[in-house]
Structure 1
Amino acid sequence: MMDPDTPQKPINAPGHGKPMQSAIIIYVLYGAGVVFPLAALAGLIYAYVERGKDATLDTHLSFQIATFWWGLLMIVVGLVLMLFIVGFLVWLFWFVWLVVRLITGFQLADANQPISGTEMFGLKAI
């Protein structure tokens, strides 16, 4: 029998169970951001808020923050290049780049593994 004066931790206390849950939520928000851009912005804000809590999680958060800012740059460049019709190609590249980064990052987060870098010109998380 447990001592009634001993405080008990809740089953789902922060930092227990799924340390990568924040990263997984952000990957989902970024995916939804393709259709609902405010979801990606919410993911970015969440990534900044969650930084500094866990070293492994921080590798994902840094990757996600970089994904947002580089993606935004590609979207703007694509918009400018719409004047020359090649902007659609930039947007197509951005979409493929984003999907691959989200899938590979999500797989690593689901396996509780850090992101140690990227390969294939920043396309794939490793």
Structure 2
Amino acid sequence: MQDPIIPRPDNSGKMIMIVYWLNIGTILIQVSSIIGTIFIQVLSVIAVIIPYVYRGNLQGTYLESHATYQIRTFWLSLLYSVISVFLCIIFIGYILLLLTVIWYIVRNVKGLMALNKAEPIRDSQTWLF
């Protein structure tokens, strides 16, 4: 036997609609995050191409060390990120990803500060800061 249909209260239709919109909003946020991630990667690639292109013009100047530092920052951050992602399986990767972000920020701030003072990077070949 089929259960009788009970008339719905006025608010229930609106609540169901809100749930649908919340689900759609979640999907849109996830898609925009993927697009944002791709956009960030494109910017990173552009940021490493520029020092490669201009490196020859900078030879013998304090800016040469900055170009080397920027190129190494890109490649090392890529290396550290890949290692961290693989290590996320055992949880330590999440901590390493956070440390990679902090490392990346510190390197860029350090480079900007030296550039602002028209100074070369002391050790542009370093794996750390």
Counterpart in the other structure of 2:95: 89
The within-5 A match list for 1:36-115 is 36-54=40-58, 55-115=61-121
How far is 1:76 from its partner?
Answer: 0.2
**Normalised TM-score (structure 1):** 0.65
Where structure 1 has 5 or more consecutive residues not aligned to the other structure, the ranges are: 1-32
Where structure 2 has 5 or more consecutive residues not aligned to the other structure, the ranges are: 1-36
Q: Could you say what secondary structure the match of 1:89 adopts?
A: helix
How far is 1:121 from its partner?
Answer: 6.7
- Partner Cα distance (2:78, 2:121) in 1: 21
Q: Of Structure 1 and Structure 2, which has the larger fraction of its residues in helix? A: 2
**Considering only CA atoms, is the larger Rg found in Structure 1 or Structure 2?**
2
How far is 1:85 from its partner?
Answer: 1.3
- Partner Cα distance (1:75, 1:82) in 2: 10
Amino acid corresponding to residue 75 of structure 1 in structure 2: S
Task: Call closer, same or farther: CA 1:98–1:110 in 2, change over 3 Å.
Answer: same
What is the count of residue pairs matched by the alignment? 89
Report sequence identity in percent. 27
Output the aligned Cα RMSD: 2.0
